[in-house]
Structure 1
């Protein structure tokens, strides 16, 4: 599949420009000229999930062929945007005729490279039992601004549940001339129905980064997302999704289930609750593909490479880190010594 790659030339010197995080402009890395990105002419849209299921889908994805407008080099990639490996020109694919679902929205980077570096520094300084030399890490060996695809889902749910309501009471017990109060619980059958409207439940649409770490980068300020415009991804790497909406919805339902379980407990009331079964029906399910900004960095320590993910909006860091065996051993010895001192003082006071 040949993809036409729109160029973003600088109006001043003709070089390739890139989106400047924290702005609504494209900036030339050479002469510094800024060019504004046109304001959106529509709102971010969501799509009916039922309508999506009714359409035939192509699940075998072909690599995109990029033709660089700068040096005419032809390359293949599974990305939506990237830099030409030969001349560095910002390349953005045309997704209009793609067999995949096109991105509906993008949350533009708010954190530039300097901000990502500061977030990494702060994260490194707060790692317990980290080797002292790790604190000298000020920037990852590689730090790439990357838009990662995510699905968001809306749904109306109605859930019928069965459970028990527990109510505490106290009894007085007497033993060997002493009395004490013990708490007991009476259990009563409970059941009912709860309803909720979910909005923008976010799940990762890529397996190229650990899902748990991506989940821990939340929350995302999705109210700041804008309709997809190639200008926002110019000069940054953008991955295509490899998790289909069907799988994404099942993952979203798992997130919804936890919220629904809490709703059931509140509906049961009492002092404590047991929820034994929940039957949920879903309606008005809608979804969209949104690109979220993540700085992906790798640093080398002790001959091993560690990866970190940085939320491109608030600087939240998730990632790998080494541990100092010496610091852990010293902490264990200190804890043992403290326990020994407490025991010695106790025995000394009893003597």
Structure 2
């Protein structure tokens, strides 16, 4: 990364970033979340984002062999932004971000640096104020949270990022083997001693009759979602679901202006292995339903995949960091639904008070029970 005064916009390997000048004041426009418009952060002038008319397409895996080889050794390798505002050179591994010197939105031409370009996206639907409101609602609803946590409003940092995801479609045929368990009841005789007397009694006991089972099930999968980046733990990203994938729009650079866009570092072939794990859980449930009975055991499943397709989509997330009690806490907000996930502090005093309250209630109950028993003598 270099200072603008030392930058040469004609340097080898540098590419001028795409910008969108305001027709009113000449500043650079940014995407306005929740709209299909770009807005000037200074004079508030707006400009509509013209639809491309292009349809969102699915790609088959054979397409990968036809793609030209990009001049990079690993996915997500860095490239050079040249700021159209101050002409600073910024080395980056993102598709879009802001110039750290003048704040100008920087958007790269995806086709120039990516092996696979985004096909679709869900634009930001919640702006920074909306993310702050979601955080405020989240903190105020947390049990055992310190009272001061509810006052967190301005002491946060916000970063809006598009994250890359792969979606996979597939038709599957699965042959399975297992066992079917059918319940039945038998009468069991046993002895019991009461008041020194032994007598014979009977009871109904449930047993399971197991028999071999095998068969074939079929299922079509649509938009199985797999994160295309390892920068954020997959388990955390799973908590941001569901995403309304039926509402994606064709990829357009204008929606990236003003936000960071993370490039994929997980290739579609590797992502498909994760997708197959998701599919396997659904397929096993199909096998169990096909086996029937009261219980099922699935010992083996052999699945064949047909009509495989994939696409790269960008999904919006607000990353929020706030300070509380001298410690940094991080949360994420689904920038379409407002879902908030993350960690937060606990109030030791509130937890202690709750424990004492529970102990007090138990003590009262025990006292009343003992008193009732004592009154009965």
User: CA–CA distance in 2 between the matches of 1:137 and 1:86?
Assistant: 29
Post-superposition Cα deviations, 1:143-162, rounded to whole Å, max 9, x if no partner, equal 11110111111111111111
CA RMSD of aligned residues (A): 1.9
Which stretch shows the higher mean deviation, 332-341 or 128-137?
A: 332-341
Equivalent residue for 1:82, pick from 85, 97, 118? 97
What pairs up with 1:276-315 in 2 under 5 angstroms? Answer: 276-315=299-338
Matched, 1:67 2:82: yes
User: CA–CA distance in 1 between the matches of 2:356 and 2:270?
Assistant: 48
Match of 2:34 in 1: 22
Deviation, structure 1 residue 40: 2.4
Secondary structure of the residue that 1:350 maps to in structure 2? helix
Match of 2:110 in 1: 95
User: CA–CA distance in 1 between the matches of 2:14 and 2:173?
Assistant: 46
Post-superposition Cα deviations, 1:108-162, rounded to whole Å, max 9, x if no partner, equal 1111222211211111122122112112123561111110111111111111111
Matched, 1:265 2:288: yes
User: CA–CA distance in 2 between the matches of 1:265 and 1:3?
Assistant: 55
User: CA–CA distance in 2 between the matches of 1:156 and 1:139?
Assistant: 49
TM-score scaled by length of structure 2: 0.88
Post-superposition Cα deviations, 1:72-103, rounded to whole Å, max 9, x if no partner, equal 11111111111111111111001122243211
User: CA–CA distance in 1 between the matches of 2:208 and 2:148?
Assistant: 55
Equivalent residue for 2:276, pick from 223, 241, 253? 253
What pairs up with 1:32-51 in 2 under 5 angstroms? Answer: 32-51=44-63
Identify unmatched segments of 5+ residues in structure 1: none
Deviation, structure 1 residue 30: 1.1
Which structure has the larger Rg over C-alpha atoms?
Answer: 2
Secondary structure of the residue that 1:273 maps to in structure 2? strand
TM-score scaled by length of structure 1: 0.94
Match of 1:5 in 2: 17
Match of 1:108 in 2: 123
Deviation, structure 1 residue 54: 6.6
Matched, 1:323 2:346: yes
Post-superposition Cα deviations, 1:231-276, rounded to whole Å, max 9, x if no partner, equal 0111111111112222211111111111111111111111222212
Which stretch shows the higher mean deviation, 224-233 or 243-252?
A: 243-252
Which stretch shows the higher mean deviation, 262-271 or 51-60?
A: 51-60
Cα distance change, pair 140–54 in 1 and its aligned pair in 2 (3 A): farther
Note if contact 1:120-1:139 (Cα within 8 Å) is conserved in structure 2: no
Secondary structure of the residue that 1:255 maps to in structure 2? helix
User: CA–CA distance in 1 between the matches of 2:173 and 2:155?
Assistant: 47
Note if contact 1:40-1:226 (Cα within 8 Å) is conserved in structure 2: no
Matched, 1:202 2:225: yes
Secondary structure of the residue that 2:218 maps to in structure 1? strand
Deviation, structure 1 residue 335: 2.7
Equivalent residue for 2:139, pick from 109, 124, 129? 124
Match of 2:211 in 1: 188
Cα distance change, pair 248–84 in 1 and its aligned pair in 2 (3 A): same
Note if contact 2:119-2:312 (Cα within 8 Å) is conserved in structure 1: yes
What count of residue pairs does the alignment treat as equivalent?
351
Note if contact 2:17-2:83 (Cα within 8 Å) is conserved in structure 1: yes
